[in-house]
Amino acid sequence: MLAIPSSKLTPLLQPYISLLGKCTTIHHLKQTHSIFITTGLSQDIFAMIKILHLFAVSPFGDLYHASLLFDQIQTPNTFVWNTMIRGFSISSQPEKSHFFFSKMLRNGVIPDKHTYPLLLKAFSKSNNENPNQIHAQIVKFGLNFDSFVQNSLISAYSNGGGVGFFCAHQVFVEMSQKDPISWTAMIDGCVRNNYAKDGLEFFIKMRLAGIRPDKVTIVIVLCGIGMVGDVWFGRCIHGFYVECGRVNWDVYVSNALVDMYAKCGFCNDAQKIFDELPWRNVVCWSTLIAGYVQCSRFKEALFVFQDMLVEEVEPNQAVLATILTACTHLGALDQGRWVHGYIDRNNLEVNMTLGTALVDMYAKCGAIDEAFLFFQTLANKDVYPWTAMINGVAIHGHALKSLDIFSQMLSDGVRPNAVTFIGVLSACSHGGLVDQGRMYFDRMSRVYGIEPNLEHYGCMVDLLGRAGHLKEALDLVKSMPMEPSAGVWGALFGACMIHKDFELGEWIGKHLIKLQPQHSGRYALLANLYSVSQKWEEAACVRKLMKGKGVEKKPGCSLIEVGGAIHEFIAFDRSHSKSKEIYVMLDGITVQMKIAGYTPLLFDMDVG
């Protein structure tokens, strides 16, 4: 924090300076400034700098008045210029910091070690590519060896990503004295630029250098651990912090631990940390709920949300969006409607994230009309709700309607992203619109600069395969710039089953088993193909192969919501309270199907 220059205060000035320290609103500050003007004390340079500082950087400040006051100072020194640069660096107009810096140089005022960190902060906020020009100025004025300036350079370069991150690494390497802030800035840069593994290696080097991390470092490291999923490393960090005796009261580190365990798939450990917290704010609840959703434990997420409401913690938009995601995966339409009602009853602002979650929930829970009605109420829609609506309509089989919404989106000047084209191509696939699918797939890269990923290729293979263009689909798979995934091969296999190309299907089925030898579903696909083509011996060989490799068949699971309650059904499970009545009904349906002449074609893969 910058220190205000001191001066000898006259007895007359002292009480008025103390008045400034009591200002808590802009109205109070303006009144006090008026007193200085009417009493003639505005001629005192120290008093004016003090007032300028409050106008520029206090939470209740006013940069317009700060600028007016700045213009009245005849020969502002470096501290005064820094005050203005700092004020704009933390404002919504960070680019004005550069204006004052340029003006400062034109007036012949030499920057100091405080100037450049403030300027670099503004540079990062204004989304410039990288701070090369500022770095050159730092070298010019001989401040490139100041650790405070170097740390700021590391952070600024890291914010730019790409080449900038490697410049940050170069600055770090060239530092003769690395303090905890230097190491933390470098680790943070790695994590934010998706080099989490490198960030963890820097943390190890930091500890080997005998430098003790603070809680900011620990939080960043835990974030990196969650990204790479290294729970063993996470437990080591957890143990280290427990030894410090602070984990039970430090909410920031505790939240980071909850997040780390959840991202590593250990939700029970995350829950244990959460339960030990002495107090829990909305961020704590949000972290745990998001963790359960990330682990696909959607029912538990709803239970935690209910506990949150019981403890009278008001959910924010992030929590509600996450809960809607859980409702979407569970097909819990009534629960989703309740969340929507909660939003309306509490007059919560529906931002784009929350709006997109609502559209997605209604669409994927089968209420496509409600999804569209709500979608129409959203103002200034960005690409995300448009994409949710396009995808939602596509999965309901309304191909032409989905493409019509896509056209409306383009007419509104909204640029599509990669996920948008997944919905568009899926719509073409469901509608058998081969020519349109080819056209949109071509436009992705040629018009919008979006390189197709595995999902896009999977959609195209599915589209071509469903339409019977098996050779074109196979050629597309072979021409992919990346290794085809099991999902892509699976789409082509499905097409082979539809069009009875059992020879190609057999080859793909065997290839899928090689790709995923422990995936029971891959054996089931090939066995089903042999069953359909009446190759019973080959089907038996697949069963034997699966058993020999010790691959266990995972039981099927389905969910249904009745009266606001979610019921889960697992194949051959009898834990449901009405399982007896359910199986009686299933037996009756099976008899009726046989009477109607239905013969199941699926091969029994039970390897018990």
Asked if residue 140 is part of any domain, the answer here is no
Q: Does 569 map to a domain? A: yes
The arithmetic mean of pLDDT across residues 94-118, rounded, is: 90
In a domain, 181, yes or no: no
At 354, the pLDDT band (50, 70, 90 cuts) reads very high
Q: How far is CA 337 from CA 32, 320, 321, 329, in A?
A: 53, 12, 13, 14
pLDDT one-digit tens code per residue, 451-480:
999 999 999 999 999 999 999 999 999 999
Rg (CA), the chain: 31
On whether residue 561 sits in a domain, the answer given is: yes
pLDDT of residue 566: 64
Cα gap 309→454, rounded to integer Å: 40
Contact 151, 118 (CB under 8 A): no
Question: 289-293, 360-364, 406-410, 488-492: which range is least confident on average?
Answer: 488-492
Would residue 247 count as lying in a domain? Answer: no
Q: What confidence tens digit (pLDDT) does each residue in 11-38 have?
A: 666 677 777 778 888 888 888 888 888 8
Q: Domain total for the chain?
A: 1
> Tokens 């032409």 label which residue?
400
Measured over the CA atoms of residue 141, residue 145, residue 151 and residue 155, the dihedral's sign is positive
The pLDDT assigned to 3 comes to 46
Give the model confidence (pLDDT) of 300-333 as tens digits.
Answer: 999 999 999 999 999 999 999 999 999 999 989 9
pLDDT at res. 98: 87
Does the pLDDT of residue 401 top 60, yes or no?
Answer: yes
In the structure, what pLDDT confidence band is assigned to residue 374 with cuts at 50, 70 and 90? very high
Question: Domain residues for 583?
Answer: 557-595
The arithmetic mean of pLDDT across residues 276-295, rounded, is 90
pLDDT at 81: 93
Residue pair 601/531 in contact (Cβ under 8 Å)? The answer is yes
Secondary structure class of 252 (helix, strand, coil): helix
Residue-wise pLDDT tens digits, 143-174:
888 888 998 999 888 877 667 788 888 899 88
Classify residue 328: in a domain, yes or no: no
Look up residue 196 and give its amino acid.
Answer: A
- Residue 2's pLDDT band, with cuts at 50, 70 and 90, is very low
Q: For 499-531, what is each residue's pLDDT tens digit?
A: 888 888 889 888 888 888 877 778 888 888 888
Question: How many Cβ atoms are within 10 Å of 277's Cβ, its own excluded?
Answer: 18
Take residue 123 and report the two structure tokens written for it: 């540079």
User: Which one, of 44, 49, 17, lies nearest residue 32 by Cα?
Assistant: 17
Residues linked to residue 558 through DSSP beta bridges, in sequence order: 569
**% pLDDT > 90, the chain:** 47
Q: What is the pLDDT of residue 579?
A: 75
Q: Is residue 39 part of a domain?
A: no
Percentage of the chain lying above the pLDDT 70 cut: 89
3-state secondary structure of 74: coil
Give every CB contact of residue 349 below 8 A, 6+ residues apart in sequence. 317
Domain assignment present for residue 288? The answer is no
Question: Which residue is associated with the tokens 């030898």?
Answer: 517
Burial class (CB in 10 A: 0-12, 13-18, 19+), 338: middle
Is residue 106 scored above 80 in pLDDT? Answer: yes
Dihedral angle, C-alpha 477, 478, 482, 487, nearest 10 °: 30
Query: Is 199 within 8 Å of 191 (Cβ atoms)?
Result: yes
